Amino acid sequence: MKTRQYSVKVLEVKLEDEESFISFFDQNYLFFQNHLIVIDGEESERVKAYLKEKSMRYLFNVSLQKKDSQVTTSTPLEVKPKVVPPKEPQRDLKVIDKLVRSGQELNIKGDLLLLNRVNSGGSIVIDGTLIITQIVEGSIRCSGKFMMLQASQKANIIFQGVEVDNSFLQDKLNRVELIDDEIIITPVLKETNWA
């Protein structure tokens, strides 16, 4: 017997109105083009044709088993950059030199310098600035002023409420920040040596 395991990004959507559904995906196609779209609602030929035209993978009326999650919402998902007013500078910087393993979640208040990698299935949720010096294959949710990390095709990165497309990240360190409601990714040009 041969098996393969995949990590899949899934977006669940409640389909109540075809126009709103299509408008949402027209505006946010880049964020969700590589997701599996799980749709709760009536299968309409118009919506199915739209999703096929966009080459999106989808399922209708499927109940997925969910792990316990700390994030719950009763309002519809809106993908807009969150404008955060400037915070007082963080005085405490956590430095961690341990691997973030699969199934492990770090919830950090303040800033973090991680000197090790984030394995697939590992997760970091942080409200401050984040710098990761090794590869990220897990999930990052950062709402700080900026974050710095390397490119990784397996990472699931959300910065200021918006998914960061991994194809925009360079092989070396990248600075990701929100400037005037726009996410800006700047590669760090010189080689960084961490002492």
Query: What's the CA gap between 144 and 141, in Å, rounded?
Result: 9
**What's the pLDDT at 106?**
92
Say if residues 173 and 150 touch (Cβ distance below 8 Å).
yes
3-state secondary structure (DSSP) of residue 58: strand
Spatial distance between the Cα atoms of 143 and 151, rounded to a whole number of angstroms: 19
CB 166 within 8 A of CB 155: yes
DSSP 161-183: TEEPPGGGS-SS-EEEEEETTEE
User: What pLDDT shows up at residue 191?
Assistant: 55
52: alpha, beta or left? (left if phi > 0; alpha if psi -120 to 50): alpha
What are the residues whose beta carbons fall under 8 Å from the beta carbon of 166, sequence distance 6 or more? 151, 152, 153, 155, 157
Written as one letter, the residue type at 22 is I
Beta strands in 72-173 (DSSP E): 93-96, 105-108, 111-114, 123-126, 130-132, 139-142, 146-149, 156-159, 162-163
**pLDDT by residue (tens digit) across 97-107?**
999 998 899 99
- Over range 8-27, report the average pLDDT: 86
Mean pLDDT over 76-98 rounds to: 64
Whether the pLDDT of residue 178 is over 90: the answer is no
